[in-house]
Amino acid sequence: MSKLVIRGGHKIEGELKVSGAKNSVLPILAATVLNGKLNVIHDIPKLSDVEVMIKILKSVGCEVTRENNTIIVDSSKLNNHKIPEELIREMRSSIVFLGAMLARCRETTMSYPGGCEIGPRPIDLHLKSLREMGAVIKEKHGFLICKTEGLKGCEIQLDFPSVGATENIMLAAVFAEGTTIIRNAAREPEIKDLQDFINAMGGKVSGAGSATIYIEGVKELHEVKHTIIPDRIVAGTYLIAAAITRGEIVLKNVVPEHIQSTIYKLKEAGCRILYTQDSIKLMAPEKLHAIESTKTLPYPGFPTDMQSQIMALMTISDGTSIITENIFENRYKHAYELVRMGANIKVDGRTAIIKGVPKLTGATVSANDLRGGAALILAGLVAEGTTIIENARHIERGYDHIEEVLKAAGAEIYKL
C-alpha cells in the first residue's frame, strides 16, 4: 500500500472487532525460538512487521506456516545464529531476538535495529543488562557480536522502564542459572502477555504488570498454544475515528482496563463511553471539548503510541489543547502534515499547542511513521474534500487492513 485516498465527511459507526496486539506478537514470535518445539499462536494480525519477524524466524532455520490468523512455528530445526542485516534494519522490535537467541544458542550476531524515525531509541539498557547476566557483547562496524558460556540470574535495575529491555531480559533469563530480578520493569499489558506465553511452555516468570519481575531459570520448555491479547492502540485509534467523525461505535475483543488513559481523555473531550469486560461503546458529542493537558508516560500513563491520534482529534475541538511528549523527542512530524490540512498547531520542543479550528480540508500529506500515519487517516475522515496519504506503507506495520475496517464502518477510503 503506497497511497490511501479518503473522502471525508462520513461518520464511523457500527461494530468493529479489534485484532491481536502488534506489540505482543513481535516479542512472542521471538520467544518461539526458545522451546525448540511447536508453537501455535492465535489472533495474529496481518501486518508487515509480522512478515519481517516470520522472515527472521525462517532465516535461522525455523519452519513457519500461517493459517488465517494463526501462525505455527516449529523451532526444532533452528540451525543459524546470525540474523540477516536487511531484516533487522527494517524493524526496531527485531532487537528482542537478542535475548531469545542468546538463551537458545548462546551466541548471535545482528546489526543495530531500524524502524520508524521518531527520535533516538538507544539499546544501551538492553546491552548493559545482558552483560550483567554474563553475555560478552562486542560492537563492530554496526554489528553486535554476542556470546555467552551460560547466562546467570542476577538483579537488574533499569534506569527507565523500557519495554524492549524488559522483554529482552525476560527472554534471556528463561534458561539462566538461578533467578533474575528486573526492577523498574515496564508494566505494559504486552509484558504480561509475554510472561503468560513463556509460562505456558514451562517457564517460571512472575510479577509482569508490576515494577518487579522475577524469572527463575528452567532446563527445558515444551510445546505451547497461545492467543494474543487485543491491541489497545488499534482500539484507541478506532475509538478516536468514531469521536472525530461524531459517530457511534461498539468495539469487540478489547480489554477496557488496558486503555483507561485513552478512555479518560475521550471522556474529557465530551464522549460518552460504556464498557463491559470485553467491549466498549463510544457515543461522540456534537462538539468536541479541548483536552487541557496530555502528557505521554510509560504505562499506565497515556501512551506515546496514541499521542498523534489524540492530536488529530484536538485539531477540531472547541478550545486549546496542550500535548507534552515525554517518551520520544522527534514524534511530532505528523503535526506539520496536519497543518497542511488546516490545523492550528505550534510545536516547541517536546510541547505541542493545538488550537481547535472549525474544519479541516483535504490535502496531499505524507505518513512519516506508523502512528503519525494513523493520525492522518483520522484527520482525513473528518476533512472536507479528498485527502491523499502518501508513504502509507508505514501504516501497514501496525494496522491490519485499516482501510477495509473503516470502509465497513462507513468511511469512504481506498488504497492506490
| 206 phi, psi to nearest 5 deg | -145, 160
- Distance in angstroms between the alpha carbons of the first and the last residue of the chain: 7
CA distance to 82, 88, 111, 122, 232, per residue, from 142 (Å)? 14, 12, 6, 13, 34
Residue tagged 542485516 (cell numbers): 85
CA distance 147 to 130: 10
- The identity of residue 237, as a single letter, is T
Catalytic annotation, pick one of 116, 146, 154, 271 = 116
Q: Which residues are annotated as a binding site?
A: 22-23, 92, 121-125, 305, 327
Q: Of 394, 413, 371, whose CA–CA distance to 2 is shortest?
A: 394
CA distance 189 to 254: 12
Q: Which residues are annotated as a binding site for phosphoenolpyruvate?
A: 22-23
CA distance to 174, 179, 301, per residue, from 206 (Å)? 12, 11, 22
CA distance 118 to 296: 14
Q: Which residues are annotated as a binding site for UDP-N-acetyl-alpha-D-glucosamine?
A: 92, 121-125, 305, 327
Q: Annotate 187-246 with three-state secondary structure.
A: CCHHHHHHHHHHHHCCCEEECECECEEEEECCCCCCCEEEECCECHHHHHHHHHHHHHCC
Do you find a cis peptide bond into 298, omega within 30 degrees of 0? Answer: no
The answer to whether 105 is a known catalytic residue is no
| 251 phi, psi to nearest 5 deg | -95, 130
CA distance 69 to 84: 26
CA distance to 216, 224, 241, 365, 375, per residue, from 405 (Å)? 42, 31, 11, 21, 16
11 grid coordinates = 461518520
- The catalytic residues are 116
